[in-house]
Amino acid sequence: MGYIAAIALCAVMAGLAYWRGLLSGAGSAAALAVGILIAVFGGLGWVLILLIFLLSSFAATRYRFEAKKAMGLEEGARGERGPANVLANGAVACAAAVAYFFFRQLDATLGNMAVVLFLVAVATAASDTLASELGVLSPKAYLITNGKRVPPGTNGGVSGMGTVWALVAAAYVSAVGNIVLLLTGAIQPTAMSVFLPILFGFVGCQVDSVFGALLENRGLISKQTNNLYSIALATLMAAVVMLCLR
């Protein structure tokens, strides 16, 4: 019954996101697919965390949208996100849900690790999204690799406002995620489940900026590929730490 409720919730939210212009048609379909996979392999609590991230992401995207549009930094025509963006931000979270489904039956510790990695993946996506969407409104931005002043919205550019929001987003996902997973019985919060998403969510956002400066600016990778790589690397680093501390 929980699976049915989770899938139904995904369908409703994907439909509403399309109706409100938050996702394109293809983006809505991709979000539904990601949501269903996470619902089946993770559960209702996992879907709720994903939806909370999406809502905060949409809110950040729409915040002062006209100002972003005037700078040529808007997402889509009305702030809507397409399938590439959805999949880049959701692929690693899906992988963590699949890992949880299989590992929990073999080793409870590995299953719990997969839960934490899911939170890290979502925290990284949220950290980068809020840092990008809100940090771009800061008049002062500096290239992360050499500290030179750059125009707002430059790939690899960071600002004080963006950095603060990156940390806030990671902490927010960790706090809400642990509460939701506790209430749904998926995990008992631990120091690692609380602090690793904050730490590596924030680190992943900085990795995204480094990749942006070194690779994306040179046309070697796209924005979506950068998102995918930075989320995957942050999650991998968290996995290594947990395996070393196991």
Where are the chain's structural domains? 2-245
Amino acid letter at 33?
A: A
Give the per-residue pLDDT at 126.
95
- Mean of the pLDDT values across residues 186-213? 93
Looking at residues 220-226, what average pLDDT do you find? 92
DSSP assignment letter at 187: -
Evaluate the CA torsion angle 243, 46, 207, 30 in order and state its sign: positive
Q: What is the per-residue pLDDT across 68-95, written as a single tens digit (0 to 9) for each?
A: 677 666 554 454 578 888 899 999 999 9
Task: Give me the pLDDT at residue 97, please.
Answer: 95
Q: Is 142 helix (H, G, I), strand (E, B) or coil?
A: strand
Q: What is the pLDDT of residue 58?
A: 81
Q: What is the pLDDT of residue 78?
A: 52
121 pLDDT tier (thresholds 50, 70, 90): very high
Q: What is the pLDDT of residue 75?
A: 57
104 contacts: CB under 8 Å, gap ≥ 6: 110, 111, 112, 114
**76: which DSSP letter?**
T
At residue 74, the pLDDT reads 57
Q: What is this structure's pTM?
A: 0.92
Least confident of 45-49, 115-119, 239-243: 45-49
